[in-house]
Structure 1
Amino acid sequence: MTVTHGTADLTHLTRHYAENGYVLVKGLLSRNEARAYRQNAHDLLAMLDRDENATWGSAADISAEAPTRLQHLHDVQFYSAAFSRLLVDERFTSMAAAVLGGPNVQLHHTKLFVKPPENGSPFPPHQDHPFFPHTYHRVGAAIFHLDDAPEEKGCVRIVPGSHLQGPREHVEEGGYHLPDVPFEAAIPLPAEAGDVLFFSYLTVHASGVNISNEARTTWLVQFRDPADPPAVRAHDYSLGQGMMLAGVDPTGRSND
């Protein structure tokens, strides 16, 4: 399902998310805004000299013949005030609250990803749950597309309704992945600059190789209901974990 920001029926959006585990919100940011964030992101990576390859070893099975590459940066909001402001932008937080089904939205962590042209790394089918399991699974993700992401650029792919099966057993070697889910089982969700994809951390998702002549740039924000306690303590290195993006934290746990 795709909805256009500003015309979305939040009740319908929440129902679709509950049934399918995702919703793609078109035009949450304008193309000009997305372009500015993209430039900011690439400037940051160049300034910080962050050129390490973050490719999962398990991505080799779906990679092109040549080795692939992936740039990333954790907690980008600590390097750029523009991304800090975007975290609490009401256009985003209202949608995050809608998919969580409540007014309180708490930050878990953020990551910037850049798939370089021609050989940008894929991700195999997986859930995000194994990385930071929570008790009631009220954890979501938002992928901000800062440039266009057609299928040839390795767009995100989703297995609709897969979140309803709950946590699944992953293979840990080379990065968590689901060997029993074929890559082709995940449907591609092409997006344009300014679109934001929301999905549950139980939703099986993947992405392909960027074989285009342009980079694919996305910003991932993981968020949760603050009333959902972590099943295990994880992601201690995410400096912003516990920041309230909307509403209040009724538990006082903050950065657990």
Structure 2
Amino acid sequence: MSEPQIDMLYADARTQRCITEEQARFFLDNGFLVVKGVLRGEELQTIQDEMEKQVAKGAAGVQDDPDYMYGKGGKTGRSVLRRIEYVIDKSDPMKALLGHPFILRSVEKLQGRNFIPTWDSMVLKMPDEGIVVPWHRDAEVPADCTDPRPIFNVDFYLDSADLATCLWVIPGSNKWSREECKVRINRDGPDGFSTEDAIPVPLEAGDAIFHDIKVLHGSPAGDGNPLRRTVYYEFRPGEIESNYGPHTREYLGLKQQVLLECLDRRAAASYAQGEEPYVYHPDGEFALGERMELVTFRYPHQQYWRS
């Protein structure tokens, strides 16, 4: 395959209120969209400092907490930290981040007002030990789902990502069949990572990527790579979740309450003063009822899977 020819299009959270129609179309066509300058100044520094504490905790070794996940280091083969789940529950700045108005207005543009925040985690490439992430889709949409709206992650980069650490994508693979994706994935095997039909997406700290769960993406193993921390927030249209899962209806209501509380945390954050806040206004079966007092922000997925 030849290297794909694509005219990159970027959104800019420093100058835009929301992604444009052209940027939305680029995302729908290609399966990804880069947004420049989502995190900056005090907010970026605060989040970097907060998540460095989580990295230090995980790097020291956490034996009794399944939220801290480990893999085989790309250089030495030793066990290294690769992922931390439920970061919103672990950090107040992560709560405020979920309320980011540019992000939420853009999510609503793509998914409609009944969107649900469904997942939150941080994926890492530890210094000099970046673990290969083979070509993959994050998930599949049920075959009988006729709703065309995308399910996607917003990936917040806390560190710059160069060719040694950045995400690679195969543009347009979000429209491929399952069989086409399987053929491409199997071509490289479990540890291979050929890139002749892909493009790299290098970023600066504070940038973000919207990536469709169906777009093929991954990253090579690091050798001499710097630390790369990426926070992932997944969003799904409520109607798709309600009709097809994988979570129960109870989970959706709880996550709506999490979002409302995170919007309050955003409004109170020093670095959010003066910005136009996002107003969450779902309707129909997802219309908001009475606010509830949350005792946790961690709702384990396995406890809310449909049978």
Q: TM-score, normalised by structure 2?
A: 0.67
| Partner residue of 2:199 out of 187, 212, 234 | 187
Cα distance in 1 between the residues matched to 2:201 and 2:163: 8
* Structure 2 residue identity aligned to 1:19: D
Using the TM superposition, give the Cα deviation of residue 239 of structure 1 relative to its aligned residue in structure 2, in angstroms.
10
Kindly indicate whether residue 25 of structure 2 is the aligned counterpart of residue 5 of structure 1: no
- Per-residue CA shift, 1:91-112, capped at 9, x if unaligned? 2212222333x23321111111
User: What are the residue-to-residue correspondences of 1:175-214 with 2, within 5 Å?
Assistant: 178-180=185-187, 183-184=194-195, 185-214=197-226
CA distance in 1, matches of 2:244, 2:252: 19
1:97-116 equivalences under 5 Å are 97-100=108-111, 102-116=112-126
| Cα-Cα RMSD | 3.3
Could you say which residue in structure 1 is the equivalent of 2:246?
A: 233
Give the residue type in structure 1 aligned to 2:124: V
* Worse-superposed segment, 223-232 or 102-111: 223-232
CA distance in 1 between partners of 2:135 and 2:253 (Å): 27
Greater RCO between the two (CA within 8 Å, min separation 6)? 1
Partner of 2:70: 54
For the residues of structure 2 that align with 1:105 and 1:161, how far apart are their CA atoms?
23
Q: Percent identity?
A: 22
User: Mind listing any 5+ residue stretches in structure 1 that lack a counterpart?
Assistant: 58-62, 172-176
Superposed, which structure 2 residues align to 1:30-45 within 5 Å? 30=40, 32-45=42-55
Distance in 1 between residues matched to 2:209 and 2:203, nearest whole Å: 8
Is the Cα–Cα contact under 8 Å of residues 125 and 183 in structure 1 kept in the other structure? Answer: no
Aligned equivalent of 2:35: 25
User: Structure 1 residues 86-95 or 63-72, which shifts more?
Assistant: 63-72
Which residue matches 1:138? 150
Deviation string for 1:223-251 (max 9, x for gaps)? 11111136453599x99973364432633
Compared CA separation, residues 170 and 18, structure 1 to 2 (3 A): closer
Change (3 A) 1:79 1:50: farther
Larger Rg: 2
2:87 to 76, 99, 107: 76
Deviation at 1:85, TM superposition (A): 1.1
Alignment match of 1:250 (pick from 267, 284, 293): 284
- 1:27 partner amino acid: G
Checking the alignment, whether the CA contact within 8 Å between 1:105 and 1:225 is kept in structure 2 is yes
1:164 to 172, 175, 181: 175
Amino acid at match of 2:255: G
Q: In the alignment, which residue of structure 1 is the partner of 2:98?
A: 87
Amino acid at match of 1:251: E
Kindly state the Cα deviation for residue 165 of structure 1 after the two structures are TM-superposed. Answer: 1.5
Which of 220, 223, 228 is the matching residue for 2:235? 223
1:174 corresponds in structure 2 to none
TM-score, length of structure 1 as denominator length: 0.79
Query: Does structure 2 retain, via aligned residues, the 8 Å contact 1:167–1:202?
Result: no
Query: How many angstroms does 1:31 deviate by?
Result: 5.0
1:38 offset after TM fit, Å? 1.7
